[in-house]
Amino acid sequence: MERTVYVLKRKRFSFQRKESCDLPILGKTSLELLCERFGALPLSEEAYAKGDFVRGERTFVLFSDHPFLPPAVLNEAESVFCGGTVSFDGGVLLGEGEGAALTSDCGEALQCLSDYPKVLRRAKREVAERLLQGGVLLDDPDSTSVDYTARLAAGVRVMSGCRIAGNTSIGRGTVVGERSEIEDCAIGENVTVRASVLLGAKVGDGTFVGPYAFLRPGTEIGEHCRIGDFVEIKNSSIGEGTKVSHLAYVGDADVGKHVNVGCGAVFVNYDGRKKHRCRIGDGCFIGSNCNLVAPVEMEEGSFLAAGTTLTRDLQEGDFCVGRCRETIKPGRGGKYYG
């Protein structure tokens, strides 16, 4: 007869409209952790109270407020109890009908809100041990948070103070620098991310991001790109070899390969009612302090001079300059200095 295991969805307390069994523990809940660990089925408190579940000689009920219950506990219980359903509560295994009990070390429990930090620390240690054994280097596991759902290849280095969450994958040779936050992203191989926030983005091999860059959902960065400091990119694709080196906003744009986006460039994508897209061809040059008022297109090899506001499309190879010419008054500076 096969062993049947249930996890009781016990509601010890609530926080921000979530019951204790539904609080996130590095991308999973205590209920999910136990169900996965033991191949178990969830069980409601109501069904448990009514006995409305399959009961037998090898039936176990694990309570969801003990997310790190060791698998060896069930083997230990089978050797002590001859039959009947066995429930686990507060470090004690209770054999129904026999009056017998077996004390077992279950580790951290989530029975009140003050238990949550120690449960989270235990989860971090568990994930860190798995990653280190898999060839991932964690500089400081105590200050680093990696979700159970994240996938890091061997050869990845994660420096201190980082958070890697959700459905994130990171390729071999990538370095995640200090104080970076990565959530629901696909990061390629040999990427460097320094002190930046990446949410729902894709980054190609060999690309450098940061420091202090912000890649928002819908962003796709090609291979061997440079996304520099204080750059924000949203819902845009950036082609191979393109550089957006500093202090720029790229929103709702398709930028080609080997494009230079200068310091202070802004893709003006919102007219107050709708968002519009810009399209930039391969090999274009966008100078510093430019505004591209969408919808606008720069065809391949066109050049936008520094300080220009672009409102019309550029054809292949065009040069556009739209700034006022300077007026120089010789010797006038002394008047302003007194």
Q: Specify the CATH number for 128-320; select among 3.30.2000.10, 2.160.10.10, 3.40.250.10, 1.10.150.20.
A: 2.160.10.10
Element (DSSP H or E) covering residue 124: helix 116-133
Q: What is the 3-state secondary structure (H, E, C) of 275-315?
A: ECCEEECCCCEECCCCEEECCEEECCCCEECCCCEECCCEC
Q: The whole model's pTM is what? A: 0.90
- Choose, from 66, 224, 246, 276, the residue flagged as catalytic: 246
Q: Where are the domains of the chain?
A: 4-113, 128-320
Strands 14-15 and 18-19: antiparallel
Cis peptide before 211 (omega within 30 of 0): yes
Record the tokens describing residue 233, joined without a space.
């990119």
- Read off the pLDDT of residues 164-184 as tens digits, 9 standing for 90 and up: 999 999 999 999 999 999 999
The single-letter code of the amino acid at 123 is: A
Burial category of 154 from C-beta neighbours within 10 Å (exposed 0-12, middle 13-18, buried 19 and up): exposed
Burial code (b: 16+ CB inside 10 Å, e: under 16) for 167-200 equals ebebbebbbbbbbbbbbbbbbbbbbbbbbbbbbb
Going residue by residue through the chain, which has 338 residues, state the pLDDT in tens, using 9 for 90 and above: 678 889 999 999 999 999 999 999 999 999 999 999 999 999 999 998 888 888 777 788 888 888 998 888 777 777 766 556 677 665 555 555 544 555 556 678 899 999 999 999 999 999 999 999 999 999 999 999 999 999 999 999 999 999 999 999 999 999 999 999 999 999 999 999 999 999 999 999 999 999 999 999 999 999 999 999 999 999 999 999 999 999 999 999 999 999 999 999 999 999 999 999 999 999 999 999 999 999 999 999 999 999 999 999 999 999 999 988 888 888 888 887 76
- Is 66 an annotated catalytic residue? no
Q: Is 165 helix (H, G, I), strand (E, B) or coil?
A: strand
For the chain, helix (H) and strand (E) counts, in that order, are 5, 38
Half-sphere exposure of 220 (CA within 13 A, CB side): 10
Rounded Cα distance between 254 and 269, Å, is 12
Contact indicator for 107, 122 with CB cutoff of 8 Å:
yes
Q: Is 192 helix (H, G, I), strand (E, B) or coil?
A: strand
Strands 237-238 and 220-221: parallel
